[in-house]
C-alpha cells in the first residue's frame, strides 16, 4: 500500500511539473513590445505536413530582424536564410492585430502568433496558404543562436501540444549566417 501511495504522489508531482498544453499554446503578447524588436537567430523548428518539416533540412542558417514603423500596427520583418548554397534575403511589412500577425511572403499568406517560452527566446507559430496549399511551422529563435538543453525540451513540449512531428530540425550553430545589408549584427 505504501508503494501505491508513493507512486500516486510521484505521478501527481510529475503532472504538476509538466506544463499544461493549454498554457503552452496560448498566444503571447509581451508587456513591452520593444522586447521583441531586433535581431533573432533561428535555432530549431518543426513543420507540418511532412514535406514542410523535410523542407527545414535545406535551411542551414537563418536570422530575422523585427523593427517598428511609424504605424504601431505595422512591424518590418527582414530575414536572411542560407539554403540551397545561397543567401535569400527579404523584407515585408507585417500587420499586428491583437496577438495575430499577418504578412505575405513568396506568394504565401502567413498568419502567426508568438507563444510564451523561455527568456531571451522568440517562439513563433506560423500558418500559411499559397493557393490550395496550406502548411504550418513552429520556429524558435534566440538572440545568440545558441540554445540550452532545457529550452530544447520546452520546444519539444510545444511541438507535441500542437501536433507537430517530434523530431525537430536544429541549426548546427556553425553554418555562417547570411550577411545583413542593414549592418545589424547578432
pLDDT digits (tens, 9 = 90+) for 5-27: 333 333 333 333 456 888 888 89
Kindly provide the b/e burial profile for residues 70-90, where b requires at least 16 CB atoms within 10 angstroms of the residue's own CB.
Answer: eeeeebebbbbbbbeeebeee
- Which of 109, 62, 56 is closest to 81 using CA atoms? 62
| pLDDT score for 183 | 54
| pLDDT score for 77 | 94
Give the HSE-up count for residue 60: Cα atoms under 13 Å, Cβ half-sphere.
12
pLDDT > 90: percent of the chain: 50
| pLDDT score for 22 | 86
Tell whether the model's pLDDT for residue 185 goes beyond 80: no
| pLDDT score for 86 | 94
Give the HSE-up count for residue 67: Cα atoms under 13 Å, Cβ half-sphere.
11
Strands 121-130 and 108-115: antiparallel
- Per-residue model confidence as pLDDT tens digits over 151-183: 899 899 999 999 998 788 998 888 999 998 775
For residues 5 and 14, give the distance between their C-alpha atoms in angstroms, rounded to a whole number. Answer: 14
User: What domains are defined for the chain?
Assistant: 23-170 (2.40.128.20)
Mean pLDDT for the stretch of residues 121-135: 92
The DSSP element (H or E) to which 47 belongs, if any, is strand 38-48
For residues 38 and 69, give the distance between their C-alpha atoms in angstroms, rounded to a whole number. Answer: 13
3-class SS at 88?
A: strand
Amino acid at each position: 500500500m505504501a508503494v501505491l501511495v508513493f507512486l500516486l504522489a510521484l505521478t501527481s508531482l510529475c503532472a504538476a511539473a509538466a506544463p499544461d498544453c493549454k498554457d503552452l499554446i496560448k498566444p503571447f503578447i509581451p508587456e513591452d513590445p520593444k522586447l521583441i524588436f531586433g535581431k533573432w537567430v533561428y535555432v530549431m523548428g518543426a513543420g507540418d505536413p511532412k514535406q514542410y518539416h523535410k523542407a527545414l533540412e535545406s535551411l542551414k542558417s537563418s536570422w530575422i530582424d523585427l523593427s517598428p514603423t511609424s504605424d504601431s500596427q505595422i512591424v518590418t520583418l527582414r530575414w536572411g536564410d542560407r539554403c540551397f548554397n545561397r543567401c535569400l534575403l527579404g523584407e515585408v511589412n507585417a500587420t499586428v492585430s491583437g496577438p495575430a500577425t499577418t504578412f505575405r511572403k513568396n506568394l504565401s499568406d502567413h498568419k502567426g502568433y508568438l507563444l510564451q517560452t523561455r527568456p531571451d527566446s522568440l517562439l513563433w507559430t506560423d500558418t500559411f496558404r499559397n493557393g490550395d496549399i496550406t502548411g504550418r511551422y513552429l520556429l524558435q529563435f534566440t538572440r545568440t543562436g545558441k540554445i540550452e538543453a532545457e529550452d530544447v525540451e520546452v520546444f519539444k513540449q510545444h511541438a507535441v501540444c500542437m501536433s507537430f512531428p517530434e523530431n525537430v530540425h536544429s541549426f548546427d550553430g556553425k553554418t555562417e549566417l547570411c550577411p545583413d545589408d542593414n549592418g545589424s549584427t547578432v
